[in-house]
Amino acid sequence: MAAAGLRTIRRKIRVVTNIQHITKAMQMVAAAKLRRAQGALTAGRPYWDRMQQLVARVAQAAGQVHHPLLDARPEVRAVGLLAIAGDKGLCGAYNANVARLVVRWVGEQQHPVRTMVVGRKLLPYLRRGGCEVAYSTSAPTGADATPAALSIARRLRDWYETGAVDEVYVCYARFISAIENRPAVVPLMPVSAFATPEEGRGGELEYIFEPEPAELLGRLLPRFVDAQVSHLVLEAAASEHGARMTAMSAATRNAEEMIDTLTLGANRARQAGITKELLEVVTGAEALAEG
């Protein structure tokens, strides 16, 4: 009976050890992907910052220019939402946190919400929450991330420019660090968050624009929206890899603790078996001596 129990414990140790190897490998893969995602964020941040500054300056110089992506509509009849999460699990509460925020945010809206989902893991949550999913796609990764993000941005711009929606928001997990991300909802369209004029110049900007500011702004605004969507997709990807690395690190530690506990139990069971056999030998020897 003791031998059978010891074999069971050893079999559990082998199973948990195999699981630990898998979680350790997934942790290392997630760490490598996180480094690449952080590198892409760092490399793209100067372009993103410069684009914001350029659009702000051109918008100030253009004055009361009208553009479909810039003007707020007086009556909001429908709202568009881009929800970004992951295609895979094993990343802690990352997907669930984004899904809960989406469901809560949609429930608070007074207008119909048309949702575009990036990441297959969100679909079951949102359908159970009663959200209308108008379009869904896989989360962009690797070399296809930028073209896929631009395709998503173009579809959102089509929704807004054709009047299918009157406002567009993005729900994503903001990347704070490798161990922390915060789900947030940010406005995307209409594009109205421009910088204020520089102090001491009364709004007079010493720039020469070619072509005219209004025409230049018309070309910049679509690219500004594309750049913003690409930036948010990169942030969501970094958050996912960080969450997966953290979750797999915790799973590896838990497996190690379980192996230690099972090993201790196996040693105790083995010692108990040895002690029992010794007692049987001693008892038998004493019986023979007395006989």
Percent of the chain with pLDDT over 70: 88
Q: What integer is the mean pLDDT of 64-74?
A: 74
**What is the pLDDT, as a whole number, of residue 32?**
93
Q: Is the pLDDT of residue 283 over 90?
A: no
Residues 115 and 255 placed together within one structural domain of the fold: no
Residues 17 and 34 placed together within one structural domain of the fold: no
Residues 114 and 132 placed together within one structural domain of the fold: yes
Residues 8 and 135 placed together within one structural domain of the fold: no
Q: Is the pLDDT of residue 200 over 80?
A: no
Instruction: Judge whether 47 and 227 are in contact, CB under 8 Å.
Output: yes
**What is the pLDDT, as a whole number, of residue 60?**
67
- CA gap 62, 64 in Å, rounded: 6
CATH assignment at residue 84: 3.40.1380.10
Residues 122 and 232 placed together within one structural domain of the fold: yes
- CA gap 289, 132 in Å, rounded: 86
In a domain, 267, yes or no: yes
Exposed, middle or buried, 135 (CB in 10 Å: 0-12/13-18/19+)? middle
Residues 256 and 236 placed together within one structural domain of the fold: no
- Rounded to a whole number of angstroms, the distance between the first and last alpha carbons of the chain is 30
How many helices and strands, by DSSP H and E, does the chain display? 5, 5
| Chain mean pLDDT for the chain | 83
Query: Within 13 Å, how many C-alpha atoms sit on residue 140's CB side?
Result: 19
- CA gap 286, 278 in Å, rounded: 12
Residues 146 and 260 placed together within one structural domain of the fold: no
- CA gap 44, 230 in Å, rounded: 9
Residues 78 and 201 placed together within one structural domain of the fold: yes
Residues 200 and 156 placed together within one structural domain of the fold: yes
In a domain, 291, yes or no: no
Domain membership of residue 276 as a residue range = 2-23+247-284
In a domain, 41, yes or no: yes
CATH assignment at residue 264: 1.10.287.80
User: Can the peptide bond before residue 190 be classed as cis, meaning omega within 30 degrees of 0?
Assistant: yes
**What is the pLDDT, as a whole number, of residue 140?**
78
Percent of the chain with pLDDT over 90: 31
Q: Is the pLDDT of residue 154 over 50?
A: yes
Residues 175 and 48 placed together within one structural domain of the fold: yes
Residue in this structure with the two tokens 């992907």, named with its chain if needed = 33
Find the helix packing angle between 213-290 and 2-62, rounded to 10°: 170
**What is the pLDDT, as a whole number, of residue 286?**
75
pLDDT bracket for residue 206 (50, 70, 90)? low
**What is the pLDDT, as a whole number, of residue 197?**
43
Q: State how beta strands 167-177 and 79-84 pair.
A: parallel
Residues 177 and 132 placed together within one structural domain of the fold: yes
E strands within the chain?
Answer: 79-84, 113-118, 133-137, 167-177, 180-189
pLDDT bracket for residue 209 (50, 70, 90)? low
- Cβ neighbours of residue 126 closer than 8 Å, sequence gap 6 or more: 83, 99, 102, 103, 115, 117, 133
- CA gap 160, 73 in Å, rounded: 11
Amino acid identity of residue 186, one-letter, is: V
Q: What integer is the mean pLDDT of 154-173?
A: 91
pLDDT bracket for residue 4 (50, 70, 90)? low
State the total domains in the chain: 2
* Number of Cβ atoms within 10 Å of the Cβ of 95: 23
Lowest-confidence segment of 48-62, 171-185, 251-265 by average pLDDT: 48-62
**What is the pLDDT, as a whole number, of residue 241?**
93
Q: DSSP secondary-structure letter at 143?
A: G
- CA gap 139, 88 in Å, rounded: 9
pLDDT bracket for residue 45 (50, 70, 90)? confident
Residues 112 and 95 placed together within one structural domain of the fold: yes
Lowest-confidence segment of 8-12, 166-170, 190-194, 234-238 by average pLDDT: 190-194
In a domain, 108, yes or no: yes
Q: Is the pLDDT of residue 28 over 90?
A: yes
Instruction: Judge whether 150 and 120 are in contact, CB under 8 Å.
Output: no
Q: Is the pLDDT of residue 64 over 80?
A: no
**Residues involved in catalysis:** 91
Residue closest to 91 by CA, chosen among 176, 179, 161: 179
**What is the pLDDT, as a whole number, of residue 198?**
46
